[in-house]
Structure formats: structure tokens, C-alpha cells
């Protein structure tokens, strides 16, 4: 499939210890029954949290981590990201709005089209690895870069090989008929990008699922990226129903879409708990109530949506009973410190009078929930991860609190939400496997990866610029 392989990208392979005892940490559990537990031990066995308490006895042969004075919290959850963009970080930035306004024509309709399967593999592997380094252990990845069967395999395998959990959503749309050096009408490129699902993509999705996603208990599940499911002069509700029927026939764990067509889907009886909406700005209170009733989930890009005409919706969605999380959305353009995105989930509430009112009753724990416990629910994995709870997957982040700017006062949630940064992460576990320790990723050569990303940029960007839209 690809010249890249996980073996070529990693040094020493990280392996899960059969058991790990984390001693004396201050536990920020995000479990409403447990709360915050200072100076407490946590035991990991076979990838799961099996015991929480003081003075736990280490099983024979257990790895022991001395975490006194450190904060142990759940791994964070990104509810909406296009991971493949990661190698092009900085090519477009939101602090230059005129340049960023070209995001879809340049990023999706040019850069993505010019990427090879090798490039897509590296993009998703690198993106997943960077997320783990930054304390994100689960992601909903909407891979809207799949133009061939090979790219589909590469996207799924690359994210899986990075070791991150969550849902890989195979995009079943976009079949560009052009490539580097071609000239075509901008309207044609836009129409191809915005088209509904097609038979070829559906077959590719099934193939990728059957190759890499047969283990129903694996941390990373198989999902589907839908079209926007919009209904209009060129697309009837019957077309939309066909796409959903075909997608559901693939038994995806979750289906995600960019779109706000809740009323159309509700009237046609097409909504379900297997659906996840990205962004959703502008959804009415009535639509949110319908989503809560049907179990439809939501991912909000709180930082990226500041520039949108309508304010971020996560506060209203939560109040309506919708399982809602936050996400980076566009790694090409935004800060990769996920604590910054978590903080933005609070500050962005103040963009609307209704959000301002909601914010009055928030606590720091409520804010952190968007990136942990509630975020996990937005991916349909709230029973598996998102809190330090016995029986849940050991997706954990251990924070070093020694930095002078890391507050010593306040609750654990106060300290993390307001003062923690990427640089404070000492250790990260995904499903019990220690991926980062003492501030360094295990077996990852960042210098080598930066060179591979730079080489990709030097080749793909000129190719993308050679595509002319008229």
C-alpha cells in the first residue's frame, strides 16, 4: 500500500506493561462520583483501570510510576479533526483571514488532491502521534482526503498505526477528475468536492474496514464521513436517504457530517444515534431538542469558529442534553496545544447573550468535561473512556506541576483548565500503553519526522499551486 510503515517511523516500539501502578498522584477523575482525589494510587491492568485508592499493592512485575505532586487526568478527546492536514501546519492560518478564506479551494481541492497514498499515511500517522504527545488520546477523524482506494487504506492504517483511539471516519465523497498542472472551472472543482456519496467510495470504505477495523474492541473504530446531506434543487431527500442507507450497510460505529439539515432528516425519519454533526452553528433550539431526543452527537471547534457569523453552539447544545465535545478541526491552521482549545470552550460562550448566561453557572470541571467525559460521549465512547473510573480504558495524562507558572492554589480542575500547557505533560497512556514518559515520546524521532514533512511540503505545495481554477 505504502512505502511508509510504522516500523520505519518509530524507534523502540512502545509496548503495554501487563500492569502499571501510578503512585501518589492527585487524581482529577472527571467521574462525578469520585471527584478529585489527592495523593491516590491508580492501577492499570491489561489496558484497563482496575483499582483506585491509597496504598495499593503493586502486582508482581508491575511498572511503578512515582507521581507524587503530579496531576493525573483522563486523556483528552478531540471531537472533530481533519488529521491528514497536519504536515502542512502553517500553510494557512486564521490570523490572516483573507488568505484563510481560500481554505477549501486550496487545501481540499488542490493540496489534498496532489497528495499520494504515502503522503496521506504520513499525515495521519504524524497527526495522531502529535495528538498523543499533546495529551489527546481519542479523536474523531474526518478523513476528507480519500480520492482512491489506496488513499483510503493509507488514511485508516496511518491513524491506526499512530496508536490513538477514537473513530476513523472514511469520507465517502469527492472524486476529483483533475490533478497537478490542470486548468478547470472553479465551479467544477467545487461541485466535485460537494457531491454526495458514490459507489466507488462505498466499496473502498468496505475494503478498508475489512482490512484494518475488524476488532470491535480496539481503541480506534471504523466510521463514515458523509456528505453534507443537504436537500435542494439538485438533491432530493431520496438521494440523501440512499446515501445513509448505503453508509449504514457498512455498520459504522459513527457517521459524521458537516451539515445543518436536521429538520429535513427528522421529517424523513433518517436521524439516529449513529450520527455526529460537526460545527452546527446556527442550529435552533428546536433542532437541538430533536438531536437530544434522537441521540445525535455534536463536535464544536470552539477556537476555529470564532470567525463564524454565528456563535459557537456547544453551550446551548449541552444545555439541551446533546452529547457535545470540542475539536481542533483544522490542524493546518490552529494551535496544537489542546489545553488552549479547552480554555476556548469557556471563553467562547461569551459570544452570545445566551452563552453568557450559561457561563455564569459553570465550574472549571464543567469546562474540562468538553475535552474529557462529555467529549467521550460525543464520540459514543463515554462508557469506555473520558474519566478515571474503574473498568474504563487506561487513557491517561500525567501532568508535571513544577513549572512556576503552573498554579499551586485552587482545585485540580482550576489549575489544569486555566494554567496547564502542552509542555507540562510528563506521561501519556493510551489503552494502558505508555506512549510518552518524562516529557518525551517513546521511540519517536521528531527531527526525522520534520524532515519527512518538509520534503512533502516541498513537493506537494508547488503541485497544488500548479492547478488553476478559472
* CA 192 vs CA 28, 240, 395: distances in Å: 47, 17, 39
Phi and psi torsions of 247, nearest 5° = -65, -45
**pLDDT value at position 15?**
73
Residues of the chain below pLDDT 70: 1-13
C-beta separation of 65 from 80 below 8 A:
no
pTM higher than 0.85 for the full model?
A: yes
**pLDDT value at position 320?**
98
What domains are defined for the chain? Answer: 9-73+390-441 (2.30.40.10), 76-378 (3.20.20.140)
**pLDDT value at position 8?**
61
**pLDDT value at position 302?**
92
Sequence-distant (6+) residues with CB within 8 A of 304 are 94, 328, 329, 330, 333, 334
**pLDDT value at position 169?**
98
C-beta separation of 44 from 394 below 8 A:
yes
For 18, half-sphere exposure in the C-beta direction (CA atoms, 13 angstrom radius) is: 5
**pLDDT value at position 4?**
56
Q: Tell me the pairing of strands 297-300 and 396-399.
A: unpaired
**pLDDT value at position 261?**
84
Amino acid at each position: 500500500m505504502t512505502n511508509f510503515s510504522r516500523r520505519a517511523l518509530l524507534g523502540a516500539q512502545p509496548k503495554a506493561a501487563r500492569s502499571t501502578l501510578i503512585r501518589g498522584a492527585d487524581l482529577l477523575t472527571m467521574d462525578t462520583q469520585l471527584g478529585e482525589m489527592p495523593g491516590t494510587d491508580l492501577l492499570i491492568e491489561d489496558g484497563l483501570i482496575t483499582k483506585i485508592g491509597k496504598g495499593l499493592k503493586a502486582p508482581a512485575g508491575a511498572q511503578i510510576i512515582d507521581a507524587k505532586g503530579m496531576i493525573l487526568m483522563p486523556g483528552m478527546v478531540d471531537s472533530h479533526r481533519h488529521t491528514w492536514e497536519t504536515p502542512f501546519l502553517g500553510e494557512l492560518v486564521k490570523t490572516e483571514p483573507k488568505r484563510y478564506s481560500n481554505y477549501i479551494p486550496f487545501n481540499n481541492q488542490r493540496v489534498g488532491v496532489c497528495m499520494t497514498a504515502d503522503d496521506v499515511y504520513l499525515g495521519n500517522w504524524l497527526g495522531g502521534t502529535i495528538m498523543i504527545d499533546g495529551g489527546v488520546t481519542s479523536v474523531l477523524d474526518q478523513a476528507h482526503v480519500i480520492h482512491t482506494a489506496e488513499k483510503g487504506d493509507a488514511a485508516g492504517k496511518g491513524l491506526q498505526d499512530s496508536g490513538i483511539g477514537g473513530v476513523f471516519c472514511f469520507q465517502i465523497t469527492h472524486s476529483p477528475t483533475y490533478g497537478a498542472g490542470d486548468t478547470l472551472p472553479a465551479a467544477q472543482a467545487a461541485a466535485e468536492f460537494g457531491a454526495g456519496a458514490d459507489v466507488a467510495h462505498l466499496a473502498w470504505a468496505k475494503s478498508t474496514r475489512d482490512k484494518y477495523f475488524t476488532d470491535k474492541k480496539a481503541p480506534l473504530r471504523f466510521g463514515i464521513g458523509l456528505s453534507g446531506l443537504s436537500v435542494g434543487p439538485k438533491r432530493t431527500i431520496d438521494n440523501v436517504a440512499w446515501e445513509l442507507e448505503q453508509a449504514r450497510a457498512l455498520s459504522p460505529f459513527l457517521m459524521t457530517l458537516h451539515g445543518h439539515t436536521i429538520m429535513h432528516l427528522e421529517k424523513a425519519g433518517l436521524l439516529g444515534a449513529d450520527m455526529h454533526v460537526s460545527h452546527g452553528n446556527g442550529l435552533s433550539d428546536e433542532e437541538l431538542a430533536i438531536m437530544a431526543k434522537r441521540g445525535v452527537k455534536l463536535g464544536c471547534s470552539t477556537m476555529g469558529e470564532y470567525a463564524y457569523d454565528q456563535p459557537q453552539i456547544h453551550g446551548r447544545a449541552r444545555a439541551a442534553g446533546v452529547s457535545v465535545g470540542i475539536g481542533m478541526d483544522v490542524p493546518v491552521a490552529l494551535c496544537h496545544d489542546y489545553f488552549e482549545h479547552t480554555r476556548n470552550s469557556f471563553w467562547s460562550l461569551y459570544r452570545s447573550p445566551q452563552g453568557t448566561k450559561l457561563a455564569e453557572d459553570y465550574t472549571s470541571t464543567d469546562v474540562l468535561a468538553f475535552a474529557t467525559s462529555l467529549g467521550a460521549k460525543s464520540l459514543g465512547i463515554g462508557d469506555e473512556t473520558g474519566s478515571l473510573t474503574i473498568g474504563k480504558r487506561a487513557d491517561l495524562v500525567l501532568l508535571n506541576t513544577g513549572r512556576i507558572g503552573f498554579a499551586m492554589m485552587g482545585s485540580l480542575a482550576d489549575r489544569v483548565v486555566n494554567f496547564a500547557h502542552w509542555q507540562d505533560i510528563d506521561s501519556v497512556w493510551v489503552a494502558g500503553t505508555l506512549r510518552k514518559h518524562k516529557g518525551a515520546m517513546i521511540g519517536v524521532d521528531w527531527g526525522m519526522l520534520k524532515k519527512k514533512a518538509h520534503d512533502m511540503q516541498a513537493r506537494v505545495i508547488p503541485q497544488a499551486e500548479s492547478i488553476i481554477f478559472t
